[in-house]
Every structure is written in structure tokens, then in C-alpha cells.
Structure 1
Amino acid sequence: MTEYWVSQGNKWCDFCKIFLSNNPSSIRNHELGQRHKDSVAQRLTTMRQEKVAKEKAVNEAARALEQIEAKAKRSYQKDVATLKEAGDARALDILGDSKESKYTDSVPF
């Protein structure tokens, strides 16, 4: 029997965004070419820049969280101090009120 013709297909180069003939000599010739080398170098440069930008964003987010936590801590300490002062003043009011009766004689039963 005769064999069916099958296309050899093409190989896609992710760096150059082109199709190549799927045979070793074409692939090797392409990979040794200047266009492919430039595309690979450009991709590596882009990856490095993206990594630096991502690290910068993470550092900025961490710094922002630290600032928020510091402000929250100061606010909490201020609230605690205010509450303590208010509690001390209220305690003095309660001690002063204990001499007087809480109930008046004007309420009939």
C-alpha cells in the first residue's frame, strides 16, 4: 500500500512570534540568527524589568501596611489614655455621688 502524505508541520518560535519549518537545520539556522538572539535578549530584559517592578510594588505595599499599623497603634494608645482619663473622672464622680441617695423621695410607691 501507499503511505498517506503527512505534513511535517511548523514549529512556533515564542521569542520571535513566527513559524519555522519543523526540521533540525531550519530550527538551528533560526536559533543562530541575529533576529532570534535579539528577541531572546529583549525577552530577558523585559522579564528582569517586570521582576523589579513587582518587587517594588511589594515593598511599597509592605511599607504602606507598616504606616497603617503605626497610625493604628498611636490611635489605640491615644484612645486608651483618653478612656483612662475619662474613667478616673467618672470614678471621682461616682465617689462623690455615693454620699447622696440615688433615689429621691418624690417617687411615690
Structure 2
Amino acid sequence: MPTDPRARAAAMDYLRHIDVSRESAAFDVPAEVHRAFRDETGMTFARWRYAARMRIARDLLVGGARPGAVARRVGYAHLPSFSTAFTRLHGLSPREFQERESEV
């Protein structure tokens, strides 16, 4: 989480509304907020949002939530879109990830 007050406020607002499916343009923030994210986290705001969604999704899957419910919870309207995004980051589908984690 960034410490810059405006960047932190944007992050908290995003996290409070993470379950709302929206285009990245619909969640627009000023350029100085983008700079603060890049400077403090090493990620663009868009990349941070993606990472936050996938981190929350991972935690929910480990907790036993069904992939379809997780997809909706992190703002994906369609399970296949969520599955593609999750697999791209983790190298495993949500179901495979969940099965692997339940074996540990």
C-alpha cells in the first residue's frame, strides 16, 4: 500500500469497490496519484489493481471459496475471464491452485 495520502485514498476506494466490474478508464485518478503508485510500489496503478485483485482471489481460493464466487467477488463478470487472468499470473487455473493448496 502506498503511503502518499491521495494514492492511499485511491487504493482504499478501489479495494472497497473491488467487486464492481469496471473498465480501467472508469476508475481514473490524477497523474500525481499514478506517479505516487509507481514511485512507492514500483507498479503502475493499473498493475497494482490487478495484483490486488489476484491477491484477494488467491486468499479466497485458499479459504475454500468456489472459483465462480471468487471471480464475482474480485470484479469479474465471467469466470473464464477471471480464470485466464489468474492463470496468467499464477501458472495454474483457480481450481488447480485451490487443489494444490488443499494438499499442503
Calculate the TM-score normalised by the size of structure 1: 0.23
**Which has the higher Rg, Structure 1 or Structure 2?**
1
For normalisation by structure 2, the TM-score amounts to 0.24
- Of structures 1 and 2, the one scoring higher in RCO (CA 8 A, sep 6+) is 2
